[in-house]
Amino acid sequence: MAKPTSTHPTGPAPSRWVWRLGSVAGIPIRVHFTLLLLLIWIAWLELQQAGAQGLAPEGDPVAWLLFLGGRVLFIVGIFACVLFHEIGHALVARGFAIRTTEIMLYPFGGVARLHGMGRPTQELWISLAGPSVNIVIGLLLFAVLQATGLWAPIDRLARGEATVLQNLALANFILAGFNLIPAFPMDGGRVLRALLARRFGMLRGTSIAATIGQAFAIGLGLLGLFWGNFILIFIAFFVFVSASQEVGMQRSRVMMRGQHVRDAMIRRFESLSGHDSLGRAAEFLLATHQQDFPVVEAGKVIGVLTRPALVRGLTERGPSAPVSAAAAEAYLALEPGEPLQDAVEQLQAEKQKVGLVFDGAQLVGMLTEENVREFFQLHAIDSGHG
């Protein structure tokens, strides 16, 4: 069976909810559509508040447009600074040979998806990079405003009469300070984890940092309930859940040490021909526990048919359509001796449900997130009995 020359996906599967803005240093920049909704909502709240406080102009349409433009410009500027924050993480990670798959902007902030955080010392510097970028931006804006004499006095700041640049300068200092709170998974929590890991190990350090992060999240959530602030409650929920997930991920990494793809891969599986019908594929799906199928033509793998693609193909094309019409041509190719942790990180980074395992040109197995989870469960049971 000949192994295809091009087997690696070109990137994460596109989504109608995610828009690509471009790339920086080869790193794709994407934004979730809910961010646009948040910007509109914040702009509306800002206008209402400004009107209630008498800060908005009255009667003059041009003045209203300028006022609205300034408010929108400030909000967009905030997210631009968040983007620079994430680029700072990504560039320092690149200096440690840690690849960044993408930078995603969400309503709650940005996320730089890294292939791991490296050793504790490397994680320390990567985590500090983002807040450092915000501090530098704030200082540069402050220097420009001071040099031009445009820095507003404190009494004008208190009345909300600061310029857009002055508000951005202050916002960057606030972003840096908030991110440096030692509550995992924020940057300060990762700094704390890196320092703890040097003494207690990565798993124990993660557990301590996550516990602190969850305690902070509970306190923040209670404040949000007391003040009736939905955004604080949302951030508290995000921090609490993310801290729990990070502990689970770290435990998985510990369990994967010394394990290879051959230890966890599926060895018995069914393959489909590109000429098989989607109806036949559905029969395989129902008759076996297999969810994803390699598609083979003349002894050569030409793609993978996943369960979602099969369901979508049946809905759009019907059961008589060929498998090749619904199968994805790009897939992730793995080797049996590849470290299991590296393979799982590739699956997650490329948002792939399945990886095909080749021994030379021979397809010998499949690796999915589901069978990796089962491998962890059995491994944990064996370790407990041992």
Task: Tell me: do 176 and 30 sit in the same domain.
Answer: yes
Last residue of a domain, one of 145, 180, 215: 180
33 and 165 inside one domain: yes
In a domain, 169, yes or no: yes
3-class state of residue 130 by DSSP? helix
Half-sphere exposure of 107 (CA within 13 A, CB side): 16
Q: Do 150 and 234 fall within a single domain?
A: no
Does 73 share its domain with 169? yes
Taking the C-alpha atoms of residue 117 and residue 101, their distance in angstroms, rounded to an integer, is: 13
Instruction: Evaluate whether residue 344 is within a structural domain.
Output: yes
Burial class (CB in 10 A: 0-12, 13-18, 19+), 325: middle
290 lies in the same domain as 224: no
Residues 169 and 26 in one domain: yes
- Domain presence at residue 195: no
Give me the catalytic one of 46, 86, 102, 350.
Answer: 86
Asked if residue 77 and residue 39 are part of one domain, the reply reads yes
Provide φ and ψ at 7, rounded to 5°: -120, -5
- In Å, what is the CA distance from 74 to each residue of 56, 263, 285? 15, 53, 52
The number of beta carbons lying within 10 Å of the beta carbon of residue 207 is 20
- Distance, CA of 102 to CA of 12 (rounded, Å): 9
pLDDT digits (tens, 9 = 90+) for 99-145: 888 888 877 677 888 877 678 899 999 999 999 999 999 999 999 98
Judgement on whether residues 38 and 169 belong to the same structural domain of the protein: yes
Number of domains in the chain: 3
Last residue of a domain, which of 210, 230, 256?
256
Which residue range(s) make up the domain with 81?
A: 18-180
Which pLDDT does position 252 carry in this prediction? 77
Which residue type does 171 have? A
- Per-residue pLDDT at 136: 97
Count of residues for the chain? 386
Which two tokens mark 379?
């491994």
Asked whether 363 and 341 are in contact (CB, 8 A), the reply is: no
DSSP string, 306-337: -HHHHHHHHHHH-TTSBGGGTSBS--EEE-TT
Judgement on whether residues 55 and 75 belong to the same structural domain of the protein: yes
- Identity of the amino acid at 102: E
**Per the domain annotation, does 193 fall within a domain?**
no
pLDDT at 182: 85
H or E stretch including 354? Answer: strand 354-359
pTM recorded for the entire structure: 0.70
Per-residue model confidence (pLDDT) at position 327:
87
Instruction: Give CA 62 to chain center in angstroms.
Output: 41
317 and 371 co-located in one domain: yes
221 within a domain of the structure (yes/no): yes
DSSP SS3 for 31: strand
Two tokens, residue 386: 């041992």
The pLDDT tens digits for 217-256 are 999 999 999 998 887 888 888 888 888 888 877 877 777 7
Q: Residue type at 192?
A: L
For residue 186, tell me if it sits in a domain: no
Instruction: Say if residue 24 is in the same domain as residue 147.
Output: yes
> How would you write the pLDDT of the chain (386 residues) with one tens digit per residue?
433 433 444 444 446 677 888 888 888 898 887 777 776 776 676 666 655 555 555 656 666 666 667 777 888 888 899 999 999 999 999 999 888 888 888 776 778 888 776 788 999 999 999 999 999 999 999 999 888 887 777 666 656 667 788 889 989 999 999 899 888 778 998 999 999 998 888 888 888 988 998 999 999 999 999 998 887 888 888 888 888 888 877 877 777 778 889 988 988 888 998 889 999 989 888 888 888 899 988 888 888 998 888 999 999 999 899 988 888 888 889 999 998 888 888 887 777 888 999 988 889 999 988 888 888 777 666 555 55
User: Is residue 1 a part of any domain in this protein?
Assistant: no
Verify whether residue 86 is a known catalytic residue: yes
Does 187 fall in a domain?
no
Check residue 384 and give its pLDDT. 52
Residues 243 and 322 in one domain: no
Q: Which residue has the tokens 């995610």?
A: 18
Domain final residue, candidates 217, 237, 256: 256
Which pLDDT value is given to residue 156?
66
